[in-house]
Structure 1
Amino acid sequence: MAYWKSSSFTVEDNDKRSTIFAQILAGAVYQSARGRLRSIAPTFRRSCALTCPVLAAIYVHRKNVNPKKFFAELKRRKVYKVAIGYAVGGWALAQGVAQVFPVFDIPNWAVRLIVLLIVLGFPVALVLSWFFDLTRYGIVRTPDRESNAKIDIAQTESANEKSIAVLPFSDLSPDKDHAYFSDGIAEEILSALAKTEGLRVAARRSSFWFKGKEAELGEIAQKLNVEHVLEGSVRRDGNRVRITAELIDVGDGFTVWSETFDREMQGIFAVQDEITRSIVEALKLRLDISASPTSRSPDAYDVYLQGLFYSDKSTEEALQQSLEFFERALEKDPQLGRAWTGIAKAWLWLADAYVPPRQAYPKVREAATHALKIDNDDAEAHVYLGEVKRILDWDMDGAAREFCRAVEIDPKSTPSNYFSAAFWAARGKRDEALAYLQRTSKIDPASLWVNNSACELYRYFGLYDEAIAAGERALQLDPAFVYGEPLLAALYRETGRFDDAIRLYEKAENLSGRPAFGLAITYARMDRRDEAVRALNAATANRRYTPDCACPCRTGGA
C-alpha cells in the first residue's frame, strides 16, 4: 500500500494509472458488448481502487494528515454511499439497455456507448460526492472538517458543576428612577461570579429576560437550567445605597444566604465584592478576585452603569445615548477601561442596522484598542477587535487570534462564544461554528439574540428545521423582536410556507416602519408580479444605506 503515501505519488504513477484505467474501461465495454454485464461490478471496484488512491494522495498531501483519516473522510462525505448507489444503478441501467435495445433493433454500438458513459461517470460521481452533498433543500458544498487554527472548545458544564442565575435587582428607590443602577449592580455581580471555576452562571440576557415578568422561581430555574437563583433589591437615596441580596436553592425553596448592606456610594465596589464572596462561600466554591481599586470613581461608575443600561437596548436612540454616558464616564475616570469596551459595543451594534459599517467600524477599533491598553484581559474588547479585523480588514488570521484569545480569557462569555461561532461559520468551518453555537445556547438559553443568531447560522448551513425552531423560540421570547421576523420569514419562504412568510414580513414592517426586500422576493416566488414590484419599490425608497459587507453572520437575511 505504498501508493497511499503522498511522498510516493508522482506524475509517472498517475500516467500509469490512467493507462490501466483506460484498459479497464475498454474491458468493460467489451464485456458489455458480449452480454456479460454481471462482470461489470468487478470493473467498478477496480476503477474505484485506482481512482481513490489518487484522490487520497492529493488529499493527504494538501491536508498534511494521517492517510488513515482519509477513510473516515470518505465516510463523512458519503462517498461510499454514492459509489454503491452508482454501481447498483449503473449495473441496472446497463442490464436494462442490453435487454431492451435489441427489441427495437438499436445497434450494438449504442449499447456499448451507454455502458462506456456509465463507467466514465463513476469517478466523476466520486469526485462530486467528495465536494458536494445532496440535502432536502438542494445541493450544498460539504465543508472541510479540518481547521487552520487551533481551537480549544472546553466543556462548559460537568456533572459536579453548580449553577446559578442572577436576576435583575428591583429598584426600590423613592422615585423609581435608578433601574440602570439596580440592573448594573446585578450585572457586575453576575460577571464576577462567572469567573468562578466550577460554577455555571446563566448569561445576562437570559437572566434579565425575566425582568418585569411574573414567573415562579421554579419556572425560571427550569428555563435557565440552574440550581440556585440570586435575587435582590437596591434602594438609592442621594449618596446612600441599601442593597439586599438573597441566594435561594430552587430545589427545596430554602434561602442559602441573605444579607442587607447599607453603604455610602464610595463603598459600592466593596459591597459587590462582598456579595460575590459570600455567594461563592455559600456554594462551597473558591473564588480568586482581587480587591477593587480604591482609585475607582463612584461618579464615573454611576455614569458607566447608565451607559451599560442603554447599550443593551436595540434602538438607535438608546445606543447613541449609551455612547454619551460612556464618554462622560471616561471624562470622570480615563482609566475606566470598561467604558471604552462599552463604546466599542455600541458602535458595533450601530453598524449592524443604523450606521454605514465603514463609518462605524473604525470607531469600534479605536475604542477596543483603548480598552485593551488599559486591560489586555478584557475578553469583550478582544471580541470587538476581532470583528473589526474580520469585517473591515478581512484579516482572518488576526480575527482568529482575537476570538481564540477571548475564549481563552472567558470561556463562559456569550460574546466570546457567539462571535466565534459567527467567525467560523463565515470561514465555512461547520463543526467549529456549531460547537461554539451549542455552547452559547447552553450559556444563554433564553436570549433573543442567541436564538436569533442560532437561526441565522443553522440557515447558513442548510439546517432549516433547526433554524426555524430557533427563530420561533426567539419570537416566543419576544413577539415584538424586530430583528426576528425577517429572518424567520425568509426561512418560511425558502421552505414553501409563503403565507406565513408574508404575515411575518408585514408584521416586521408594522413594528419597524421599514419595508423588507424579502417581501418582494416572496411575491416574486409566488409569481405575483405587481405586488412584488410594489414591495420592491417601497423597500428601495426606504433604504438608508447599502451595507459594505454581506457576510452570513452579520445580516438578518432577506
Structure 2
Amino acid sequence: MAVEDKCGRFCGSADRAVCRSTQALTLPDKPSIAVLPFENMSGDPDQDYFADGMVEEIITALSRFKWLFVIARNSSFTFKGKAVDIKEVGRRLGVRYVLEGSVRKASGKVRITGQLIDAVTDAHIWADRFERDLTDVFALQDEVTIAVVSAIEPRLRQTEIAMAARRRPENLTAYDCYLRAMQQYYVASREGVAEALRLAHRALELDPRFGPVAALAGLCHMLSVIWGYAIDPQFERKEAVRLLRLALSVDDGDPDTLARASVISAFMVGDCESEIEMADRAVALNPNSYAAWYCRGWVYKIAGLPEEAIRSFERAIRMSPVDPLLHRSITGMGYAFIELGRFDEAIAAGKKALSQNPFFSTAYRCLASAFAHLGRDAEARKAAARLLETDPTFTISGYIARGGQSNSKLLIEGLRRAGLPE
C-alpha cells in the first residue's frame, strides 16, 4: 500500500527505504553545526571563490573534531545568495548550530566576521571579527575555527586542535589556484572537470608538494575516464594513479586525501584490500567527512561488499542531506541494491536520483538494469534509450573498460537484457 512520505509524494515500500535515507533528520546526540556560505564583501563578484574557499577550509577544520557533527559543504552551499531563516536551516539540515558571516579581501588584508546562532532557540551565542594580512589567511581560518569550537565546547582538546590544521601549501598563489579548481570541480560537467584539471596542474607547478591539490587532480583524471570524457583514457588513467601516489607520499594521514586516493585506486587499479584499508582509515580519522563516506561507499561497492556500501552512502547522505550532487550517492545505493537482488529498491533509487538530475546517465544504467531483471521490458528499453541519449557512445564493453565493474555482474547482466549495445 502506498503512503505519503516526507517528500510530499506517494510511494511504495521500496521508495520509502530510499526516502528514509534522505529525509529522516533528527538532531544528532552530539553538538551539530552547519557553516553557511559567507557573504563576499569585497565588492568584486570574481572574489566569490575566495570567500567560498575560506568557508570550505573552516568546515574542514571543524569536521576534524570528532565530538562535533558537521554538515558537508555542498548542503550548506545550497543556501548561498538566499535570505535564510536560521530555524528553517537547522530543521532542513538537522543541526543545532548555524555559523554565518562575511569575508572581505582588499588592500592586502582579509577580514572575517562571524556569528554563531542556536537554530533551535534563534539565540546568538557568539560573534566576532578577525583581520589579518593576506599572507596569514591560514592563521585566520584557524582563529575562526577555534573561536567557534570554544563557543560550543569550552574545554578544547589541544590534540584535536592540532589535528584540525591541514598541511599548508608553500605558495599562496598555488592555494588560490586550488580554490578556483575546487569551484570548477563542484560544477561536475565536462567543462568543469577540464578547467579544474588545468587549475590543479597549475597549482602543482607552483607547489609540487601540495598534497590536497594532487589528490584533486588525480580525482579529476579518474572522472574523465569513468564518465567517458577522456580523449586518451590510458594517459588519464596513468596520470590519476601517479597523482594519487604523489598525494599519499606528501601526506598519507589526511582523511580527504586518503578518501580520494581510495576511490581513484578502486576505479583505476583494483587492489581491494589496500583500497578498503585507505577508505576505513579516512572515516576513522574524520567521521564527519562527507567525501570520506561517499568514497568509502564506492570502494566497498567496487570490492563486492554492497551491504557496507549502502551503509556508507547512507552516512554520506546524512552528512549532506540537501547536497546538489545527492543523486550520485543515491545512485551508488541503487547499484549496490542491484548486486543484492533488491531490484525494486534500485528502481526507487534511480528514480529519486533522476528527480534531482534528469541527465545523469549513471541513474539510467541503474534503471535499465533493474527493470530488465524484473522482466519489465518496456520500461527497461525506455531507460536504455534515455541512457543512449545522454551518453550516445555508450557500449557495455566500453563501460567495463572504464574500470570498477569486476563485481557488477548483475548490473552488467541487466544492461545486456535491456538491449544496450555490446
TM (norm. structure 1) is 0.59
- State whether residues 306 and 336 of structure 2, in contact with CA within 8 Å, keep that contact through their aligned partners in structure 1: no
The 1:307/1:489 distance shift into structure 2, 3 A limit, reads same
Partner of 1:547: 401
- Among 350, 353, 364, the alignment partner of 1:474 is 353
Amino acid of the residue matched to residue 189 of structure 1? I
Contact 2:364 2:387 in 1 (8 A): no
2:307–2:336 CA contact under 8 A, matched in 1 = no
Displacement of 1:204 in angstroms is 1.9
Structure 1 partner of 2:339 = 460
Q: Is the counterpart of residue 314 in structure 1 residue 188 in structure 2?
A: yes
The alpha-carbon deviation at position 426 of structure 1 amounts to: 3.3
Deviations 1:160-206 (A, max 9, x none): 41111122223233221112111111111000000112101111222
CA distance in 2, matches of 1:475, 1:429: 25
Residue 216 of structure 1 is matched in structure 2 by 85
Q: Which residue of 2 aligns with 1:234?
A: 103
Alignment match, 1:405: 281
Residue 424 in 1 paired to residue 300 in 2?
yes
- CA distance in structure 2 between the partners assigned to 1:223 and 1:465 by the alignment: 28
The residue aligned with 1:162 is: 31
1:468–1:491 contact (8 Å) kept in structure 2? no
SS in 1 for 2:101: strand
**Paired residue for 2:161, among 259, 271, 289?**
289
User: 2:205 matched to 1:326?
Assistant: no
Query: Residue 289 of structure 1 aligns to which amino acid in structure 2?
Result: I
User: Equivalences for 1:33-432 in 2 at 5 Å?
Assistant: 160-212=29-81, 216-284=85-153, 286-287=156-157, 288-290=160-162, 296-353=170-227, 354-355=229-230, 357-432=233-308
What amino acid is the match of 2:335? Answer: E
Distance 1:162 1:191, change over 3 A: same
Q: State the distance in 2 between where 1:279 and 1:483 align.
A: 41
Relative to structure 1, is the Cα distance of residues 466 and 167 closer, same or farther in structure 2, using a 3 angstrom cutoff? farther
- Secondary structure in 2 aligned to 1:350? helix
CA spacing shift, 1:278–1:248, aligned 2, 3 Å: same
Q: Distance in 1 between matches of 2:121 and 2:220?
A: 41
By how many angstroms is 1:474 displaced? Answer: 3.2
Match of 2:316 in 1: 440
Task: Say if 2:346 and 2:370, in contact at 8 Å, map to a contact too.
Answer: no
Is the 8 Å Cα contact of residues 357 and 547 (structure 1) preserved in structure 2?
A: no
Task: Give the corresponding residue for 1:97.
Answer: none
Number of paired residues? 376
State the 1:344 CA deviation.
1.5
Q: Which consecutive unaligned segments of at least 5 residues does structure 1 have?
A: 1-135, 138-156, 518-538
Which residue does the alignment assign to 1:486? 364
1:113-151 CA distance string (max 9 Å, x none): xxxxxxxxxxxxxxxxxxxxxxx99xxxxxxxxxxxxxx
Q: How do 1:477-556 and structure 2 match up within 5 A?
A: 478-479=356-357, 482-483=360-361, 486-487=364-365, 489-490=367-368, 493-494=371-372, 496=376, 498=378, 502=382, 506=386, 509=389, 512=390, 514-515=391-392, 547-549=401-403, 551=405
SS in 1 for 2:401: coil
Q: Which amino acid aligns with 1:226?
A: V
Q: 2:353 and 2:104 mapped to 1: Cα distance?
A: 33
> 2:9: which partner in 1?
none
CA contact (8 A) 1:344 1:381 kept: no
Using the aligned pairs only, state the percent identity: 29
What SS does the corresponding residue of 1:184 show, helix, strand or coil? Answer: helix
Cα distance between partner residues in 2 of 1:294 and 1:400: 27
Cα distance in structure 2, aligned partners of 1:485 and 1:159: 30
- How many Å apart are 1:508 and its aligned residue? 8.5
Partner of 1:450: 329
Q: 2:330 is aligned with what amino acid? A: N
1:275 is displaced (CA, Å) by 0.8
Q: TM-score, normalised by structure 2?
A: 0.77
Residue identity in the other structure for 2:220: A
Task: Specify whether residues 385 and 498 from structure 1 end up closer, same or farther in structure 2 by C-alpha distance, changes over 3 A only.
Answer: same
Would the alpha carbon gap of residues 516 and 460 (structure 1) be closer, same or farther in structure 2, given more than 3 Å must change?
A: farther
Residue 6 of structure 2: aligned partner: none
Query: In structure 1, how many angstroms separate the alpha carbons of the residues matched to 2:140 and 2:339?
Result: 45
Q: CA deviation at 1:254?
A: 1.9
Residues 438/244 of structure 1: CA separation in 2 closer, same or farther (3 Å cut) = same
How far apart are 1:471 and its partner, in Å? 3.5
Alignment partner of 2:44: what SS? coil
In 2 relative to 1, CA 352–266 (structure 1 residues): closer, same or farther, beyond 3 Å? same
Deviation of 1:430 after TM superposition, in Å, equals: 3.7
Amino acid at match of 1:426: I
- Pairwise CA distance, 1:436: 2.1
Distance in 2 between the 1:358 and 1:420 partners?
A: 25
| Structure 2 counterpart SS, 1:186 | helix
Q: Distance in 1 between matches of 2:123 and 2:241?
A: 47
How many angstroms apart in 2 are the aligned matches of 1:179 and 1:391?
33
1:459 aligns to what SS in structure 2? helix
Counterparts in 2 of 1:460 and 1:369: CA distance versus 1, 3 Å: same
Cα distance in 2 between the residues matched to 1:501 and 1:242: 56
Instruction: Please tell me whether the aligned partners of residues 347 and 367 of structure 2 are also in contact (alpha carbons under 8 angstroms).
Output: no
Q: Decide whether the 8 Å contact of 1:422 with 1:457 is kept in 2.
A: no
- SS of 1:304's partner is helix
CA distance in 2, matches of 1:304, 1:335: 13
Q: Deviations over 1:272-318 (max 9, x none)?
A: 10110011011116352236778843322212111111122211221
